[in-house]
Chains A and B, each alone.
Chain A
Amino acid sequence: MVYATLAEDLKELHHPKTWIGKYVWSQDHKVIAVQYMATAVATGLIALVLSDLFRLQIGFPGSVPFMTPEVYYQFITMHGMIMVIYLLTALFLGGFGNYLIPLMLGARDMVFPFVNMMSYWVFLLAVLVLVASFFVPGGPTGAGWTLYPPQAVLPGTPGRDLGIILMLASLAIFIIAFTMGGLNYVVTVLQARTRGMTLMRMPLSIWGIFVATILALLAFPALFVGAVMMMLDRILGTSFFMPAIVSMGQQLGYNGGSPILFQHLFWFFGHPEVYIVALPAFGIVSDLLSVHARKNIFGYRMMVWAIVIIGGLSFIVWAHHMYVSGMNPYFGFFFATSTLIIAVPTAIKVYNWVLTLWRGNIHFTVPMLFAIGFIFTFINGGLTGLFLGNVSVDVPLSGTYFVVAHFHMVMGVSPILVVFGALYHWYPKITGKMWNEKLGQLHFWFTFIGTYLIYFPMHYLGFLGMPRRYYEYGQTALVPQSAHMLNAFITVVALAVGVSQLIFFYNFIWSYFYGPKAEGNPWKATSLEWQTPDNPPAHGNWGPKLPTVYRWAYDYSVPGAVDDFIPQTVPADGTSRHHPT
């Protein structure tokens, strides 16, 4: 096939001239990606330390001198909020989205580079506002990451003076930042693909990020209005979410609002949010498995449709978080059914990952280890979702440690394993250096085994009936001594996993300065980002002419071909069997 010259080929590039223009106020998607990643990981590190501290309180009550109930609730709240929004969402979309979309699609940059730059700096502002809440009188909010009113804005909850205001403000700012980035990602995917890169030739990483971004653009506005309305309730005394209340013996001025309305808004955002995090992870892990098993992803078209269907269904399952909220109980029939239906496309993805390994040529590289670790962890977390989604089964488990174990397994550990796999996978492209294999493996084993030991037994504390968000259990009849011992064990493992992350930081920082130089395509991968003329790719990514794409991203081990991979830029020569697209 002959392709015409693109306008992009002829456009003159304006390279930044100063150090600040290149690395600080940069409009280069690769630099912005690294800025997003570094900020998200640094914020996540705070959340990790918070979790180890409150885990000490759970495992060994009283062992942390400053751990009052107030501090405990503030820490669990900040841990959850940071991990979900400021780490995972920002890292997958702002970080990997920014880095991979133009490089995997053969574009020079995002379509709106200036807006892209603004997106990062506004995101940084959101992080700073969030962090500032630790230093205001009363400290950050301790309302739980779900911020349910009326509790979040009433006395009796830590941080109700300033903490909650900063939290809501930070969320609103984050959403503004995300919207700038998100519109960019969607338009870039739709408009800036290079010649030959049809939608059905895009790597699944891009499909995951693309659909997740659409979800986020549709879901975050619900959180935005929820945050604004709660802010008005808190500051101006409106009653969006506040009914008539007697708080600590005081009649308050509120009347007529609905606390459940907030829950609907929150989860209308909150459930798609699970997939905003999960879909990029699904996409990326598909590519890791394919590259390192030297085999095409099994059932590519089915994988694409599964991502799209999961994305669509994710908007009609939100109230499965609210089975015992006091909403009309008849909703339970609908939401249980829609929730369990979503398990079908999700299961298909799992089958196809395993079938990708089947008859593969599996290289146990560090990214592959993380990818296999992900499959195992995700199977576990996905299956426990079938308990919680199934309305009546959820009733005794809701609000217990079973829920904590489930969502950490499915949307905490699983995506984080993919994040690590992806960082190891693309590190040589991003930095031009190679990390240390042994340290990478060590980091994997601590993280994979450790997190499983933390969260698998935790389900059983939930079966006992131990509610989450308890500062201490004291003398509770249904909590046997053995359960306290299990909690202590979990805390010890959590500390070990926390400390073992130092291996990762050491490896990446050391390798950046002293690591061996990486080849441009160390994994012998087919997708475009590995075919750049420079490593790491220079500003503009592609030299004078944009690449042309002739095939899908999964031509591995094609019968008759000499190498076991054929890059997307290699013209069709008739020897390979082509994917239907």
Chain B
Amino acid sequence: MWIGIAVFVLMVGSVLFHLLSPWYLTPIASNWTSIDDAINVTFWVTGAVFVAINSFLVYAVIKYRNKKRSRADYEPENAKLEKQLTLWTSVGIAMLLAPGLYAWAQFVDIPSNASVLEAVGQQWQWSYRFPGKDGVLGTTDIKNMNDTNPFGVNPDDPYGRDDVLVEDSTVHIPIGKPIKLVLRSKDVLHDFFVPQFRARMNLVPGSITYFWFTPTKIGEFEILCAQLCGVGHYAMRGTVIVDDQKTFDAWLSKQQTFAPARAGIRESVKQRG
């Protein structure tokens, strides 16, 4: 008896909690409203099922509690009912799967006009590389990495010479343009997670991963590493600042490119030498 009441209270409480809770998806700041839509559809469908099954459970538990002289029914199977339930469950599942796969089809389809930005992770900080005027990132290799070439850019690759290097945990991006975010890790797995952008991906040492999004709100957004990367994992933060195009261009033009950076290093090495 009490268990029926308890389940009822928890069920109603859960629904109220959902409706009244101050905690929900952090307001979106990218194009991925299709992901939010899929989440909302999932909430409505699962919420309805949650209430329906639990209401039936509560009703059954209270109505058929043991009373003197009462006896259970004997009904081993009910093929018709079981078939109906299977059918309608399958329909419900398909309703959830459709918007999910629809959003995923967009996720895997990188827009051809997306500009490229590379984020590089290492324990426990972020840095970034833009492809420069040629629009192509220079090749890299772990073997090239050292104090003077922290990005491991191949010095013989002409595409790399104009790459813009941002050795700072803060990066700027322009609003309203699709970005293909290319991810590279020097050491262990990391995850480029900006909750407001919804889309995200792991950084995997030894391979290049990527995803895309279009920022839709000007402002500052925190990058939270979301794949355990050692003892400093929780402190591996970065910042993405979404600017209008003019502010972004001004910021970008102030950043160093690979070739002058290396020239500068050579210069200082010479002077020290």
Point out the residues of chain B lying under 8 angstroms from A524, CB to CB.
none
The segment from A35-43, A99-107, A295-303 found at the interface with B is A295-303
Is the beta-carbon distance between A392 and B205 smaller than 8 angstroms? no
Point out the residues of chain B lying under 8 angstroms from A260, CB to CB.
204, 207
A249–B96 Cα gap in the complex (Å)?
46
- B156 in the interface, Cβ–Cβ < 8 Å? no
Point out the residues of chain B lying under 8 angstroms from A558, CB to CB.
74
- A534 in the interface, Cβ–Cβ < 8 Å? no
Q: Which residue of B lies closest to A471 (CB)?
A: B234
- Which residues in chain B, 212-229, are within 8 Å of chain A measured between CB atoms? 220, 222, 224-229
Is the beta-carbon distance between A243 and B207 smaller than 8 angstroms? yes
- B127 in the interface, Cβ–Cβ < 8 Å? no
The segment from B15-23, B167-175, B254-262 found at the interface with A is B15-23
- Which residues in chain A, 126-174, are within 8 Å of chain B measured between CB atoms? 142-144, 148, 150-151, 154, 156-158
Fill in one digit per residue for A47-86: 1 if any B CB lies within 8 Å of its CB, else 0: 0000000000000000000000110010000000000000
Point out the residues of chain A lying under 8 angstroms from B90, CB to CB.
344
Is the beta-carbon distance between B25 and A463 smaller than 8 angstroms? yes
Is the beta-carbon distance between A463 and B35 smaller than 8 angstroms? no
- B114 in the interface, Cβ–Cβ < 8 Å? no
Is the beta-carbon distance between B228 and A469 smaller than 8 angstroms? yes
Point out the residues of chain B lying under 8 angstroms from A373, CB to CB.
3
A497 to chain B minimum Cβ distance, whole angstroms, is 15
Is the beta-carbon distance between A476 and B222 smaller than 8 angstroms? yes
Chain A interface size band reads 35 or more
Chain B interface size band reads 35 or more
- B265 in the interface, Cβ–Cβ < 8 Å? no
Point out the residues of chain B lying under 8 angstroms from A256, CB to CB.
206
> Within the complex, which residue of B64, B143, B195 is in contact with A357, where a contact is CB–CB below 8 Å?
B64
Fill in one digit per residue for A241-267: 1 if any B CB lies within 8 Å of its CB, else 0: 001111111010000111110000000
A557–B53 Cα gap in the complex (Å)?
25
Is the beta-carbon distance between B234 and A465 smaller than 8 angstroms? no
Q: Which residue of B lies closest to A323 (CB)?
A: B104
A326–B227 Cα gap in the complex (Å)?
12
Known: A354-B57, A465-B193, A557-B74. A360 touches B64 (CB 8 A): yes
The segment from B157-165, B184-192, B245-253 found at the interface with A is B184-192
- B241 in the interface, Cβ–Cβ < 8 Å? no
Fill in one digit per residue for A338-355: 1 if any B CB lies within 8 Å of its CB, else 0: 001101100110111011
Known: A245-B187, A348-B85, A461-B23. A298 touches B66 (CB 8 A): no
Is the beta-carbon distance between B23 and A325 smaller than 8 angstroms? no
- A486 in the interface, Cβ–Cβ < 8 Å? yes
Point out the residues of chain A lying under 8 angstroms from B12, CB to CB.
none
Known: A376-B10, A579-B76. A477 touches B222 (CB 8 A): yes
- B148 in the interface, Cβ–Cβ < 8 Å? no
Known: A391-B100, A449-B6, A464-B26. A362 touches B142 (CB 8 A): no
- B154 in the interface, Cβ–Cβ < 8 Å? no
Q: Which residue of B lies closest to A301 (CB)?
A: B77
Point out the residues of chain A lying under 8 angstroms from B226, CB to CB.
398-400, 467
- A372 in the interface, Cβ–Cβ < 8 Å? yes
Fill in one digit per residue for B100-132: 1 if any A CB lies within 8 Å of its CB, else 0: 111111011000000000000011000000000
Is the beta-carbon distance between A151 and B73 smaller than 8 angstroms? no
Q: Which residue of A lies closest to B202 (CB)?
A: A326
- A191 in the interface, Cβ–Cβ < 8 Å? no
Fill in one digit per residue for A454-471: 1 if any B CB lies within 8 Å of its CB, else 0: 001100110111010111
Point out the residues of chain A lying under 8 angstroms from B56, CB to CB.
354, 358
- B86 in the interface, Cβ–Cβ < 8 Å? yes
The segment from A108-116, A379-387, A418-426 found at the interface with B is A379-387
A342 to chain B minimum Cβ distance, whole angstroms, is 10
B249 to chain A minimum Cβ distance, whole angstroms, is 26
A544 to chain B minimum Cβ distance, whole angstroms, is 34
Known: A259-B204, A483-B23. A359 touches B143 (CB 8 A): no
Point out the residues of chain A lying under 8 angstroms from B72, CB to CB.
293-295, 359-361, 556-557, 564
Is the beta-carbon distance between A337 and B64 smaller than 8 angstroms? no
Q: Which residue of A lies closest to B81 (CB)?
A: A355
Point out the residues of chain A lying under 8 angstroms from B152, CB to CB.
246
Known: A299-B77, A347-B89, A478-B26. A392 touches B230 (CB 8 A): no
The segment from A89-97, A210-218, A327-335, A500-508 found at the interface with B is A327-335
A8 to chain B minimum Cβ distance, whole angstroms, is 30
Count chain A CB atoms within 10 A of each CB in B32, B71, B103, B202 and give the residue with the most. B202
- B271 in the interface, Cβ–Cβ < 8 Å? no
A84 to chain B minimum Cβ distance, whole angstroms, is 16
Q: Which residue of B lies closest to A155 (CB)?
A: B230
- A545 in the interface, Cβ–Cβ < 8 Å? no
A347–B230 Cα gap in the complex (Å)?
38
Is the beta-carbon distance between A467 and B85 smaller than 8 angstroms? no
Fill in one digit per residue for B22-63: 1 if any A CB lies within 8 Å of its CB, else 0: 111110000010110011001001100110011011001100
A360–B57 Cα gap in the complex (Å)?
12
> Within the complex, which residue of B96, B206, B230 is in contact with A244, where a contact is CB–CB below 8 Å?
B206
A294–B96 Cα gap in the complex (Å)?
37
- A482 in the interface, Cβ–Cβ < 8 Å? yes
A406 to chain B minimum Cβ distance, whole angstroms, is 12
A348 to chain B minimum Cβ distance, whole angstroms, is 6
Point out the residues of chain A lying under 8 angstroms from B228, CB to CB.
73, 143-144, 148, 151, 469
Is the beta-carbon distance between B202 and A324 smaller than 8 angstroms? yes
Known: A359-B64, A465-B195. A324 touches B231 (CB 8 A): no
Point out the residues of chain B lying under 8 angstroms from A390, CB to CB.
38, 42, 96-97, 100
A393–B195 Cα gap in the complex (Å)?
13
Is the beta-carbon distance between B89 and A396 smaller than 8 angstroms? no
A295–B71 Cα gap in the complex (Å)?
9
Q: Which residue of B lies closest to A248 (CB)?
A: B123
A413 to chain B minimum Cβ distance, whole angstroms, is 13
Point out the residues of chain B lying under 8 angstroms from A340, CB to CB.
93, 96-97
Point out the residues of chain A lying under 8 angstroms from B77, CB to CB.
298-302, 580
- Additional 12 contacts, C-beta under 8 A, given A243-B206, A360-B64: A150-B189, A150-B205, A154-B187, A245-B186, A248-B187, A259-B205, A333-B105, A351-B85, A390-B96, A396-B32, A396-B39, A477-B222
Q: List 7 A-B contacts (CB under 8 A).
A: A259-B206, A333-B104, A360-B64, A383-B49, A392-B34, A476-B222, A478-B196
Top 5 nearest A-B pairs (CB, nearest first) are A243-B206, A465-B195, A392-B103, A156-B230, A390-B100
